[in-house]
Chain A
Amino acid sequence: MLEINDLSISIGPHEIVSIEHLSIQAGQRLGLVGESGSGKTMTAMSIIGLLPHDAVVSGSIKISGVEMVNRSERELTEIRGSEVGVIFQDPLRALNPTMRVGKQVGEALRLHKTVPKKDVKRRTVELFEQVQLADGANLIRRYPHQLSGGQRQRVLIAIAIAADPKLLIADEPTTALDVTVQKEILELLQRLSAERGMAVLFVSHDLGVIQAISDEIAVLYGGKLVETGSTELVIGSSRHRYTEALINVNPGHPEDISASLGERLVTIKGSVPAQGGFLSGCRFRGRCPHELDQCAAAPPLTSVSSDHSFRCWNPTELTVLPTSEVVGHGGSDND
């Protein structure tokens, strides 16, 4: 469905993102996780060609076998929406404050599909039902500021799926929502992806959210994939030291937290360096507590199994644990 090969995004002299391989099958949900500045949004937006003017993209991004890199703006405009839908972090900001939400959904409907004018309203209400917005006939006349956060995000999802895209890019779609709404939206996305066979690229910094929704996880650091694999393997038997650190910093469930009250929260020391500030070799060098001399050279790709690989010179040793116990640790809101 989506296949990325040798993708490189540069701005000026800095290579912001460099990804050798990433793919999503139809109906599959891939979670792209990383800190702020890791290049996850850039990666997601490069798929539909929405990057800053001065960004240079090379490599290959294919959607259903169709190459997306170096397409003209006009061709991209065709593909956006019809092949790929996008939902954004802040649903209030992603809706036009001067237009009624029904109209915004209706326009998305008519943009890529020939929907007769008289059917637009009915189809909009249908879409609202699919994203579990009750009382759609009434809601379509509201303005964005008259809706709740969860309702707005559902409207955005309705816009994103209006033209039946094969791939949905969800860029931190739950970050601006409170936890109960977050859970509902995650369930909705999961259901939509299963029902429609729609691939989902879910971008977040929150490993708990990613774990709740994804079949596969790709961990991005400094614009490079450090570990990829099925959710169980990446969370349950993570090998890369960065993934390990990410899992450790998650405070986990309330009962876990109460047990550790009074203790300091675990953090990853330092912060992501500015562009150009990365050391040679492994990008996590300088912040990694398990650094070796050889880390100054680029770490090789190690495949643990067909669906789990990582790049680390000094990976976490596998301790044999029942997977389920460890998996429960990363989530904060997934059950």
Chain B
Amino acid sequence: MTDQTRALEERPPDSVDLDLWESGSNTPSRRVPPQLVIGASITALFVGIGVLSIFWTPYDLDIVDVPNQFLRPGSEGHLLGTDKLGRDMTSQIMAGARNSLLVSVVSTVASLVPGVLIGLVAAGASPFWRSIIIRMTDIGVALPGILVALVLATSLGPGNTTAIIAIMFWFIPTAARVTMAPARQILSRDFVEAARAYGRSRKFILFRHVLPNIGPLIIVQASVMFAIAILIEAALSYLGIGAQRPTPSWGRLLKEAQPLIGQAPYLMVIPGVTIMLAVIGFNLLGDGLRTYLDPQQSAKGGGA
């Protein structure tokens, strides 16, 4: 495709620079950016603790030990202290990691699959259908997520399922939009034209040529979504429409600690700091991956 055809084709948005492989892939050394190392470490720690908590926690989660209530962090046998019923905070935080992990993984995967699919279909669709899909994702993005979650909670009742569905409402339109723009850019590339010229169907091109080329972007998007999902899960549990006792959750720990903020502020600080660390970990991971998977950036020294 050279002169006229190219000029006449409508221009896809140039918002994302997608030339991931074109010029930089021969760079001899690929430096691992520091934020990737830090992010991956925090994430690994978080995942490790979550998995460990399935098999072992220092204390049984629901053992009530009133005589030992409100032990400060650092107390004998209770590293992070105990709450108003003497339950061990270390165990609660560990188990909360498990729940956060579950909700964020399930909601991210369950959003990315349909979201990416919708984005790909929209990218390959005719302008008419594409504009319809774009408007629908616009509506999805415009819906206030917390309100959607509250409405869902009134019909489904509070719990992890409600949190996951609410997060999906949030993420699917975002995933579709994040996929569509770069997918359209790939579709305007010559190798797509070439694939069509030797007889490839549209579907094949979308899945075998476009998807692998936007793969790095989707991986980065996934890690950012994990972080946001952790935050939303905590927020929903804090509002009382996420996990309920006995399901452990960081957001719920925050909620329970709120009335006691004067008496035992550490009950609020500990889960708060934990949430913050987990989110920072995933964000650094996403940032690091973006730098690492983009050779042009890493060649410049990896500042994102």
Contact = CB atoms under 8 A, between A and B. Distances in A.
B213 to A, nearest CB: 6
B26 A86 contact: no
A133 to B, nearest CB: 18
Residue in B3, B9, B21, B189 with the greatest tally of chain A CB atoms within 10 Å: B3
Interface string B151-183: 000000000000000000000000000000000
Contact of A97 (B1, B2, B21): B21
Interface residues of A, number: 51
A37 B215 CA distance: 36
Given A37-B4, A94-B193, A95-B191, A53 B198 contact: no
Interface stretch (A74-82, A242-250, A299-307): A74-82
Interface of B: 1-5, 8-10, 20-22, 25-26, 126-127, 189-191, 193-202, 208-209, 212-213, 215
Contacts of B190: 88-90, 93-94
Nearest to B6: A41
A266 interface: no
B200 A77 contact: yes
Given A11-B8, A39-B4, A41-B1, A111 B191 contact: no
A282 to B, nearest CB: 20
B199 A80 contact: yes
Interface stretch (A43-51, A123-131, A181-189): A43-51
B16 to A, nearest CB: 16
A262 to B, nearest CB: 33
Nearest to B212: A98
Contacts of B198: 80-81, 85-86, 108, 111, 159-160, 162-163
Given A11-B8, A82-B199, A93-B189, A171 B2 contact: yes
Contact of B1 (A79, A88, A160): A88
A99 interface: yes
B193 A88 contact: yes
Contact of A145 (B10, B25, B199): B25
A112 B199 contact: yes
Given A11-B8, A36-B2, A86-B194, A97 B199 contact: no
A-B interface, 10 closest residue pairs, ranked by CB to CB distance from nearest = A81-B199, A81-B198, A86-B197, A93-B190, A97-B21, A80-B199, A94-B194, A36-B3, A98-B212, A94-B190
A51 B197 CA distance: 11
Contacts of B189: 93
A65 interface: no
B200 A99 contact: no
B197 A80 contact: yes
Residue in A11, A40, A81, A97 with the greatest tally of chain B CB atoms within 10 Å: A97
A145 B26 contact: yes
A78 B201 CA distance: 9
B1 to A, nearest CB: 6
Contact of A96 (B2, B26, B195): B195
A98 B5 contact: no
B157 to A, nearest CB: 45
23 contacts: A16-B4, A38-B3, A39-B4, A41-B2, A41-B3, A42-B5, A48-B197, A51-B5, A52-B5, A77-B200, A81-B197, A82-B199, A85-B197, A93-B189, A93-B190, A96-B195, A97-B22, A99-B209, A143-B25, A145-B21, A145-B22, A163-B198, A171-B1
Contacts of A156: 194
A11 B8 CA distance: 9
A98 B199 contact: no
A169 to B, nearest CB: 8
Nearest to A92: B22
Contacts of B21: 97-98, 145
Given A11-B8, A42-B5, A93-B189, A111 B199 contact: yes
Residue in B20, B195, B212 with the greatest tally of chain A CB atoms within 10 Å: B195
A206 interface: no
Given A97-B25, A98-B21, 8 more contacts: A36-B2, A41-B2, A77-B199, A77-B201, A98-B215, A143-B25, A145-B26, A160-B198
A299 B200 CA distance: 42
A88 B212 CA distance: 22
B4 A42 contact: yes
Nearest to A169: B197
Contacts of B195: 96
A89 B4 CA distance: 14
A172 interface: yes
Nearest to A90: B190
Nearest to A85: B198
Contacts of B1: 41, 45, 88-89, 171
A108 to B, nearest CB: 5
Residue in A38, A45, A163 with the greatest tally of chain B CB atoms within 10 Å: A45
Contacts of B197: 48, 50, 80-81, 84-86, 88, 169
Contacts of A93: 189-191
Contacts of A160: 198
A164 to B, nearest CB: 12
